[in-house]
Structure 1
Amino acid sequence: MSDAHKAEVDIAISCGIAQRETMELLAKQVGGPEYLGFISDDCKNYLRSKRANKMRLGDTGGVLQYSDDLITNIFWADAKMRSDYSHFGDVVCFDTTYRKPKDGRPIALFVGVNNHKQTTVFGAALLYDETAVTFSWLFDTFAATMLGKKPQTILTDQDKAMSKALAARWPETYHRLCVWHINQNAAIHLSNVFSQYKDFAKEFSSCIYDYEFEDEFIDAWDNMIETYGLQNNEWLKGLFQIKEKWALVYGRETFCADMCTTQRSESMNSVIKKYISYKNELVEFFEHFERLLNDR
C-alpha cells in the first residue's frame, strides 16, 4: 500500500467507515479493484499493525489489562480529562448503562460537572464484565491515572459488585446511589402498587427527597409501609437497609455538586451511539469516543 492509500484508509476509518466500505470507495476512485495495487488483506494487515503499534506506544492515553495475551479491560483518560478531574473531581457520577452493541460489553463513564455546571468527562472504560474484580481494577486504575486522587463522593447504580469494589478500593469515598435508578427499580418492583394507589408515588418520592431529620424520615417510611400493606415486600426491605446511600436526609451535609442522580452520564450514553459503530475495534472505539468529546 502506498502512503497516499494508507492516509485515505486512516481518514475513512476515523470517520466510522468500515474496512469493506473503505476498500469499495478506494476501488471506485481508480476505476475498479484491479487498479488499486493492493487487496483487502493488505488493508487488514495495515490496520492490524497500526492498532498494535498504537497500543504499544500508549498514544491513546489508555491503560490495558491483559489475560492470556488478550485485552480484557481498557481505561481511557487523556490530558484534558485528567486536568478537569484535578479541578472538578470531588464528585463523580459512575455509570455502566451503555453496552457496546457487537458484544454487549459495558462502557463505563466517570462524569462530573465543571464550575459552569457543564457535564465533564473524567474517564471512560470498556470492560470485560461487571464483577467486583473488574470494578476493583478499574477504580485502582482510575485513581492511579489521577495521581492518587479519589473523589469525595461517587454516585452509582444499585449494583452489589460495584458497591463491594468501592468499599474495598475507595473506603474513604462517600458512596451514594443514583436516585433516578431507585425510582426506575421501584416502578418495576412495585408496579402494582403504583397502578393501584395514585398517592403512593408522591409518598415514595417524599421519603427520598423531602425530610430534614432522620426521625421524620423513619416515621414517614413506616407509615407508607403500613398504609399500603408492604410489610413483607422484600425489595423495600432491602432498600431500607441501605437507606443511608439514597435518602437525602442522610446526605445533606455531604457536598454533591447539586447532583443526586447519574443522569449526566446517562445523557452521555444517549449520544455515544451516534459516534461509535458496533464494528469498531478497541483503538477506533476510543478514537471515536474522543471525537465525541471534542464535538460537545
Structure 2
Amino acid sequence: MPFVPFTGVNHHYQSVLFGFALMRDELKTTFEWVLGTWLEAVEGKTPLAIIIDQDQAMAGAIQSQLPNTTHLLCSWHISNKFPEKLSTYYAKEEFKSDFNNCIYHSLIEEIFEDMWKALILKYKLEDNTWLQSLYNLKHKWIDAYTRNIFSAGQKITSRSEGMNAFFDAYVGSCTGLKEFVEGAQKALERQFMREKEEDYNTHHKICCMRMNTALENHKRDVQKISRPIG
C-alpha cells in the first residue's frame, strides 16, 4: 500500500512527522480523503505551503482540500528531467549555462522574464510544449516567484523521502498491519526523543564557537539568558 507521510520541520531544523496514511490507490478522491482526514486530526490547522512532485491527482486534491495553502513543486524532480526532455540542447555547455542562469540565478521576476524570453529566442524554443508547460507553472517552483513564500527553507521533497528511509528501519513492504502500527509507534517515539535531546542541549549546553564572530557571541549570550534555572 502507498505510504504517505506529512513531513515538516521543527524548531531544531529536524524532520518531523505531522501524520501519515496508508492508501489503497493513488486517485484524486483518495488523496482528498487523506487530506480531509488529516485536517480533522490537526484541528483544521493548514500549512502555509506544501511541496510535492508533479502528481496531478495529488495536485487536484490539494486544490480542493487546502485552497489557502501555497502549492509548490519540488525543483529537484523538475530539474532531473532537463537532460531527458531537453537532450538536444542540454548536452551543449552554452545552453546549459544559459538555462541554469535563467532558472537558478534570477533574483526577481522581471529578470527571470527577460532571461527566459532571451533564452527562447536564442535557441528557437518557441514550439517546445514541455518548456511552455514549465513556464506556466513558474509561480510554483522558480525562486524569483517563490522566495517570499515561507516554506522553512525547503525547496524539494527530500525530507519526505528521508522520512520514508527513517521508517524503513522499523517496517517493510511485507510488514503486516498490526506490526506496521507497532513499528510506526517506535519510529515516532524515536523522533520524539531526538527532539527532546536537542531541547536539552539547547537549554543546558554552550554552543561551540567556530568562528568567534559577533553573531555567534550574541547567540551564546541570548542562550544564557533564556536558560532555565535549576
TM-score range, shorter chain: 0.7 to 0.9
Once the two structures are aligned, what percentage of the paired residues are identical?
Answer: 38
What are structure 1's unaligned runs of at least 5 residues?
1-104
Whether 2:162 is the aligned partner of 1:267: answer: yes
Q: Which residue of 1 aligns with 2:34?
A: 138
Q: Tell me if structure 2 keeps the 8 A contact 1:275–1:288.
A: yes
Question: Which is further off, 151-160 or 223-232?
Answer: 223-232
Over residues 29-49 of structure 1, what are the superposed CA-to-partner deviations in whole Å (9 max), with x where a residue is unaligned? xxxxxxxxxxxxxxxxxxxxx
Q: Which residue of 2 aligns with 1:189?
A: 85
Over residues 109-130 of structure 1, what are the superposed CA-to-partner deviations in whole Å (9 max), with x where a residue is unaligned? 1111111111111111111222
**Using the alignment, how far apart are the partners of 1:131 and 1:182 within structure 2?**
22
**Using the alignment, how far apart are the partners of 1:285 and 1:225 within structure 2?**
50
Q: Tell me if structure 2 keeps the 8 A contact 1:155–1:177.
A: yes
Question: Which is further off, 249-258 or 143-152?
Answer: 249-258
Match of 2:143 among 248, 259, 274: 248
Q: Tell me if structure 2 keeps the 8 A contact 1:106–1:127.
A: yes
The residue type equivalent to 1:212 in the other structure is L
Whether 2:59 is the aligned partner of 1:168: answer: no
**Using the alignment, how far apart are the partners of 2:64 and 2:75 within structure 1?**
23
CA separation of 1:205/1:295 partners in 2, compared to 1, >3 Å: closer, same or farther? farther
Match of 1:283 among 154, 169, 178: 178
The residue type equivalent to 1:162 in the other structure is M
CA separation of 1:293/1:186 partners in 2, compared to 1, >3 Å: closer, same or farther? farther
TM-score (norm 1): 0.60
TM-score (norm 2): 0.76
Q: Tell me if structure 2 keeps the 8 A contact 1:208–1:246.
A: no
- Give how far 1:234 is off: 1.7
Return structure 1 stretches of 4+ with deviation > 6 angstroms: none
- What secondary structure, in the 3-state scheme, does the structure 1 residue paired with 2:152 have? coil
- What secondary structure, in the 3-state scheme, does the structure 2 residue paired with 1:171 have? coil
- Give how far 1:186 is off: 2.3
CA separation of 1:276/1:184 partners in 2, compared to 1, >3 Å: closer, same or farther? same
Q: Tell me if structure 2 keeps the 8 A contact 1:155–1:260.
A: yes
What's the Cα RMSD here?
1.9
Q: Which residue of 1 aligns with 2:95?
A: 200
